[in-house]
Amino acid sequence: MTDTPPAPSADLAFALELAELADAISLPRFRAADLAVETKPDRTFVTDADRAVEEALRARIESERPGDSFFGEESGRAERGERRWIIDPIDGTSNFLRGVPNWGTLIALEIAGSPTVGVVSAPAFGARWWAETGGGAWGRTAGEAVRRLRVSGVRELEHASLSFQSIEQWDLAGYLQPLIALARSVWRDRAYGDMWSYMLLAEGLVDIVAEFDVKPYDLAALVPIVREAGGRFTDIAGNASAWNGSSLATNGALHDAVVALIDGARA
């Protein structure tokens, strides 16, 4: 297995160009004194940076990939075919508006319902992660060489590190007892949050990530990166979908045990 990334496909190269465009818009607005923040009908926040990033990426996609569909968190859908770009302009908006650097732009290309290209760009961290099906998963931090991503080799829950996102998510979904059971079964639990939890998993630094109340634009870009790093990505019940409102990502070796433990704790 080579540690040199292959030449990107035209789709991945385009996704990486979109990430550069997004960073150029979002980073100057991070910790800006005049950042405009609104509350959406679902009680989540949106900033002027979210809207500006999505507008720019959508315009570029519609200009250069006019036959492709589009699905963005802020501007909705445009259905044109089985190729769909799925965009979260700023994943971690609450972090962004508070000045916490754990946020990033998520860019995915889904073909016939399967996420095949994923890019996560976190300019406040100076970091980017990307993958396409069959091409491996890769990451780069500013000033460092590109590195291949590989999940951990942890095989026992008692040695595993879990990122569960938030207690409230699990409680509102009716999964508080499974969360407690899972937390008691692992070595340590933390809530690193948002896209970063999944990137830590792909880098082999976390072994299990799970959450609820998530949309496709929260997950689609993460799926290829986790899978190409050697992990598994499903919903909380083990179904291979980013469209069911929950997620479970692991290093693969722990996946079945986590699904069984969560299911058993609900009985």
**Position 263 pLDDT exceeds 70:** yes
DSSP H stretches of helix in 4-47: 10-29
Give the E-state strand segments of 123-257 in sequence order: 127-132, 137-141, 147-148, 161-163, 188-190, 208-212, 232-234, 246-250
* pLDDT confidence of residue 78: 83
d(CA 141, CA 146): 8
Tens of pLDDT, residue by residue over 93-109, are 999 999 999 999 999 99
- Grade residue 157 by pLDDT with cuts at 50, 70 and 90: very high
**Position 46 pLDDT exceeds 90:** no
* pLDDT confidence of residue 3: 84
Q: What is the mean pLDDT of residues 2-24?
A: 94
* pLDDT confidence of residue 1: 60
What letter represents residue 77's amino acid? R
* pLDDT confidence of residue 243: 87
- Grade residue 43 by pLDDT with cuts at 50, 70 and 90: low
Tens of pLDDT, residue by residue over 234-258, are 999 999 887 889 999 999 999 999 9
Mean pLDDT, the chain, whole residue set: 94
d(CA 231, CA 136): 11
Phi (first) and psi of residue 5, to 5 degrees: -65, 140
Partners of 127 in the β-ladder: 122, 141
d(CA 116, CA 118): 7
* pLDDT confidence of residue 145: 94
In 3-state terms, what secondary structure has residue 198? helix
Longest dimension (CA), the chain: 51
